[in-house]
Structure 1
Amino acid sequence: MKLLLKNTRTLTENGEFEACDVLIVENMVQTISSFIEIEDVDRIIDCQERLLVPGFIDVHIHLREPGGEHKETIKTGTKAAARGGFTTVCAMPNTNPVPDKLETVQQLLERIKNDALVRVLPYAAITKGLKGEELTNIDQLSKLDIFGFTDDGVGIQAADAMYRAMQLAAQNGKAIVAHCEDNSIVYGGVVHDGAVSKRLDLPGIPSLSESVQIARDVLLAEATGCHYHVCHVSTKESVRVIRDAKKAGIKVTAEVTPHHLLLSEDAIEQDDANFKMNPPLRSKEDQDALLEGLLEGTIDFIATDHAPHSSDEKAQGMLHAPFGIVGLETAFPLLYTYLVKQNKITLKQLVDWLTIKPASIFGLPYGKLAANVVADLTLIDVEREMNIDKHTFYSKGKNTPFHNWNVTGVPVLTICDGEIVYEEDFHV
């Protein structure tokens, strides 16, 4: 198939807009030029000067399948990803069964092959059943088409287990990706241990529960030479530990979510489980430190931690509802509206944090807009205004704290591996 995108705008290295046409042949970008005229083409799309960027990459999402199909499926989750402009997503292993052995990983890969609309790179578990005890066969699983190893959702409590996992992962050239949480100092918390926990009389999760485990793990990463990646950083102390570890030459990288960049605990006005996520929304001081860490390079990129749940589950209130919010369909518009348009970051920085930065850190051949690379592309209408309506989500999960927020900047066309996987009728 030959697809010609006419009248697009791309971003230069300096962050300037540049008009161009893009020719896609089969699954590759063949030509990028100021003007392309060709007769032998299957389809021409007039992009009307909308912004064309590499397809977004999200290394941290939950698709729930198998075992949690009432929350999300591979099909619905990847439809949501495509609508949000994401062409590569990495699925966490807290499913039932857990992808912790050869058979379950192979079965998962087959489901992905059959049902995914965008590229899904699954994780395998670090420990059997995500129980933090017996290690999976990291040598064997590394030979499969997996992205890395994680027990996301629970921290690895024993230093010995994390140490041995890092040794094996390093030998196989795989990353250890960690949800950092010391259970001994979580104290049954459901929100940040701060002003809101006191006001709503809810048990709080101390910041220390995250940062002390990161501090332990960066030393283990130094000892093993493992690539250690920290999920959803949420505290100023965590940023400091990661900053110091990078200065020491330790191979540590980190991500931050849109919700931790845009919200603090102050956004929680009442007992509303749509604001319940793990790690929780922290103080305004923590929120500011996360943006500073991102801008200085201590935090490497943005990932959504898309975590769908059913409405019934989230209706149980803070004490009993599961942790997590959805994020794939709202990430770019929220970040563009409330960070780029408020001059806190640049558009080029935002695009890089969603594309080339995660790709380069994890050695993926995606996240680029250039000739002779895979055609993963997202077209964005940066002028389009939209009211976020959870009832229109493609995801099964409607659990968002951003319902009814007004945003600008909407993905209108998503191309993955040369195929159109999402398209709005923007020719109006």
Structure 2
Amino acid sequence: MTEQGVGVVRPLPGDGLIAHMGGLLLVCDAADAVAEELVTALRDTAAAGGDGRALARRVAQVLARAMTAEPVACAVAGRAGGGIAVLVSGDAQASITGPGTDVRLDGKDALTWTDRLVTTQVSTVELRLPGAGRPIRQARLDAGVVPGGGLVSDLAEADGGLPAPRPEPSSRPAAHDPLPAAEPARPEPAPAAFGVEAPPPISSPPAVSAPPPPADVPGPLREYEQPSVPAGPEPARQAPGGGHTGAQEFDPFPPAGPPAGEPDHASGPLLEPTEMGPTPEPPSRPMVYGVDCQNDHFNDPRVPYCAVCGVALVQRNLVPYKGERPSLGVLALDDGMTLALDADHLLGRDPERAPEVTSGEARPARVTSPDGSVSRRHLRVRLDGWDVNLVDLGSVNGTQVQPPGDPNFYDIPPNEPVPILPGTTVRIGVSRTMRYDGHRQG
């Protein structure tokens, strides 16, 4: 078995230096002055349990310090979440192939270096220097640092080079298999994804004639027995001639009393808790340029301190790169509810039917107030890069912000994005407030 199930790694003959540690791969020019630093970066990242993305960041820092000379010939690769992170520089090349995947990177195509996060299915990763030979089938590099001109990682051989076992043919007598022709064909196991070993196929158990279930055992859940979500109030219908027979487009309710058409809450609680809607998570987070602190936390390149651990960010030693934007913190409402800033939110008394929510652009957050000052569609929290913006959606009673360290509240203009800083307090309508906390978990 190779380290951490990353497939069989075979060296390519050559004059460079190749390394394989903790599922991370490195190829570099042995004569280069920074070769020892690159190997140290590989060893430290592997010891810390880091992935290919962390290795690429450390190698980029080494390359940035060596920019005064010719570009360093090196290539690194490693597992990164559900994909593979690759970086190449100088004369080095990388090839990542698989079903529907053919990515080829050449360090000579970039002024500094080029990197890529490959998230599609991968079967083979090859890193090479100029003049590298062909791989020898019998040679393997399970771990260590040796001379060579490149590496080939065959991910389809994640089980130590042996093909995945196939299911044994059935040895049951024909008398016990009344319908052999009806048995569906079992597909062969697909090649293992990068960093994950293919599980052995599970043989089918012998067919057993099960007695019919008792009459009192419920059968499968029928369609009319499926749980249903209570439908909300029907939207306003348009009467002939263009008039509306339901709620008006604008909020006509004065702050002094409950909104018209809604039940009187005098007998119940005056302040209903904020409710989050069931909008699903977005499939992927936006990509932004950022920097890492010394603990590998991804940060806004404009801030002086890490938002996770608080360590100082020395800008001259940091190399910006493009990565997935983390959560930008939380908005803490006055009733204890928090809104995670990893997507847009729409706040209001009835946000579920807002077009921004029905289109999937924002998550609904139901916010009510005892004085009725929160509009149905009141405020949108919009994320743009590393910025958190507030957009008042033409609410009746408006939205105000109190910047950190300022005793005063200020009205924000309707339908215009206004960026806020961590520590800002936001007033929604007349009586509801929330605070922006930019600290986040690692």
Band of TM-score, shorter chain: under 0.3
TM-score (structure 1 length as normaliser):
0.20
TM-score (structure 2 length as normaliser):
0.19
Larger Rg computed on CA atoms: 2
Q: Which structure carries more relative contact order (alpha carbon 8 Å, separation 6+)? A: 1
